[in-house]
A and B are shown apart, each in its own frame.
Chain A
Amino acid sequence: MSEAAAAHAGVEPAETPLTPESWGKLGMWLFLAGDAMSFGCLIVGYGILRHASSKWPVPSEVLGINLTAFMTFLLIVSSVWMVLALSAIQENNKSRFNKFLGLTILGGALFLGCQAYEWTHLLNHKLPELGISFSNSLFASTFFVLTGFHGMHVTGGVIYNSCVLAAVNRGRYQAKHVEIAGLYWHFVDLVWILIFTFVYLL
Chain B
Amino acid sequence: MTEAAHSASAYMKIFWILLVLTVIEVAIVYMGLPKILLAGLLIIFAVWKAALVAMHFMHLKLEKKTLAVIALAPFVLCVFFILMLMPDIFPR
Are B1 and A48 in contact, CB atoms less than 8 angstroms apart? no
Which residues of A24-62 are within 8 A (CB) of B?
A: 26, 29-30, 32-34, 36-37, 40-41, 43-44, 47-48, 51-52, 60
Q: For A47, list chain B residues within 8 Å (CB).
A: 82
Are B38 and A202 in contact, CB atoms less than 8 angstroms apart? yes
Q: For A115, list chain B residues within 8 Å (CB).
A: none
Q: For A79, list chain B residues within 8 Å (CB).
A: 53, 57
Nearest-CB distance from A56 to chain B (Å)?
12
CB contact under 8 A between A190 and B53, given known A37-B77, A41-B81:
yes
Nearest-CB distance from B69 to chain A (Å)?
10
Q: How far is the CA of A186 from the CA of B51 in the complex (A)?
A: 11
Nearest-CB distance from B19 to chain A (Å)?
7
Q: How far is the CA of A34 from the CA of B78 in the complex (A)?
A: 12
Majority secondary structure of chain B interface residues (helix, strand, loop or mixed): helix
CB contact under 8 A between A76 and B88, given known A4-B63, A41-B81, A190-B50:
no
Are A2 and B62 in contact, CB atoms less than 8 angstroms apart? yes
Q: For B50, list chain A residues within 8 Å (CB).
A: 190, 193-194
Does A23 touch B at the CB level, under 8 Å? no
A36, A52, A201, most chain B CB atoms within 10 A = A201
A26, A37, A47, A77, most chain B CB atoms within 10 A = A37
Nearest-CB distance from B34 to chain A (Å)?
13
Are A19 and B6 in contact, CB atoms less than 8 angstroms apart? no
CB contact under 8 A between A33 and B53, given known A2-B62, A76-B15, A80-B12:
no
Q: How far is the CA of A2 from the CA of B38 in the complex (A)?
A: 39
Nearest-CB distance from A100 to chain B (Å)?
10
Nearest-CB distance from A39 to chain B (Å)?
8
Partner-B contacts on A (CB < 8 A): 2-5, 7, 18-19, 26, 29-30, 32-34, 36-37, 40-41, 43-44, 47-48, 51-52, 60, 65-66, 69, 72-73, 76-77, 79-80, 82-84, 87, 90, 182-183, 186-187, 189-190, 193-194, 196-198, 201-202
For the A-B complex with A19-B63, A190-B53, A201-B25 known, give 9 more contacts whose Cβ atoms are closer than 8 Å: A3-B62, A30-B70, A37-B77, A44-B82, A48-B85, A82-B57, A84-B8, A183-B58, A193-B46
